[in-house]
Structure 1
Amino acid sequence: MPKVVLITGASSGIGKSIALFLKDKGFVIYGTSRNPDQFTDGNAFKLLQLDVTKQDTIQNTVNTVIAEQGKLDVLINNAGMGITGPIEETPIEEMKFAFDTNFYGPISVMKAVLPHMRKQGSGLIVNITSIAGYMGLPFRGVYSATKGALELITEAMRMETKAFGIQITNVAPGDFATNIASGRYHTPVFDDSPYKETYGMSLKEMDAHVDQGGDPNDVAKQVYKIILTKKPRIHYKVGAFMQKFSIVLKRALPDKVYEKLLVNHYKL
């Protein structure tokens, strides 16, 4: 009997790539989007309405999957948003919304599926985080914080749910060619801002990295391997060599030496 997979944020980008890849491998796929009616090619897999910041849509979606399939084997928490800007100039309301989407949202979805997985005595949750969550990046500090927080909460939840036969893991992608930049909140580059030059330059560089990023199918292949693994690791990283190596450097180098590398890289 094929595994039933629920993927949040599956209408585009990494989420859609994972959904199509797993469907091709024979899994039963349920994707979600805040506005599924906008996507005409949704016939490739079932696309349900879900907003991770709205509890009723989460519960409705999980209830639909259970009612139609009688089980839920895999949750892939992919829905998220980008946010950029100098911390000083980024509105607190936008920071809170980023945490609602990237941190509290995935937790809410996990809370909704855990009772069903516990009843089954099995289940896998894959949280899509980011390599940016391993370090505080200039002008991406809020994004780094949301993804780093999700990495840590996953470590805790793994231990809490292990006795129920449930596996939870993180997959941290680097830069991939998706439309994340178009849906990202970015603090405007104000003419009178003391960060005008450095932030403006960094913003262009961030967009270029996404445009020149890797194939999202690389993330899909990693998720597929995890599903087939009996005992998944706690953390996985997917991306260019230097992106993954940057995490190794952060662990190995003194804090100020690593900071200097970032300062030089971002030309600050």
Structure 2
Amino acid sequence: MKGYGEEILRMEEIVKTFDLGGGKTLTASDHVNLSLHKGETLGIVGESGSGKSTLAKILTRLYTMDSGRILLHGKDIAPLKGEEFRQVRKNIQMVFQDPSTAFNPKQRVKDIICEPLLNYGLIKKADMGEKAREMLHQVDLPEDFADRYPNNMSGGQRQRIAIARALVLKPEIIICDEATSALDMSVQKTVIELLHRLQKETGVAYIFICHDLALANMFCDNIMVMHWGKVVEKIHDLSEAKDPYSKKLMASVFTIEEGKNKVLSDELFG
């Protein structure tokens, strides 16, 4: 396992419930705790509905939690509002499963990549083309993509653009919410390679939300298994799993996935 640095993020006793009507509620986060360090990749795995993406949306303020604390470098950012939180939000970016849903189809790639910089007043419009080409180079895409529209690009190319957009503010944390699950294996391999290289170059920390246990086991430093909004266990490697739910989850997935990801792991880290 690679080394990583100081603790960046800590989420403590996070609770989030949803009102289902008729007096019924769903607890999507049930007193969840996690910590994340500089240069670390923390995997969050579990079945659909386990609460993985809810945590990401709480962290990015897409959902408001019921209770708990979110500490960034020891400061509780949960109570922050307005411009104070907006400035903190620069440090936490997100890459979604389907980047096209986050793109304005009327925008060119240079506008998509540089929009976060414009929003924070960190770039002039005249400089956007040059910055976009720099970011495209960083994610191994042709620089002339800057003046193209993403709707006629492949899923892997669009995901690289989404990664470039997430990186452009130089965040400390990038949340990858099923960011490779819609890609076929060969494209998934190149995106994982890219994420691995960018982490080595920048020290960015990843929260890697994934239902593919074998992929998470290969790519992540630490893994948090979730079930029905609870953290079942936290482990370095799924071979260390002790909880019956984790073992059941592994048994249902690994027989299909581990062979193909063993090849991927050997090529990336072997």
Q: TM-score range by the shorter chain?
A: 0.3 to 0.5
How high is the TM-score relative to the length of structure 1?
0.33
How high is the TM-score relative to the length of structure 2?
0.33
Query: Between Structure 1 and Structure 2, which shows a larger proportion of helix residues?
Result: 1
Query: Between Structure 1 and Structure 2, which shows a larger proportion of strand residues?
Result: 2
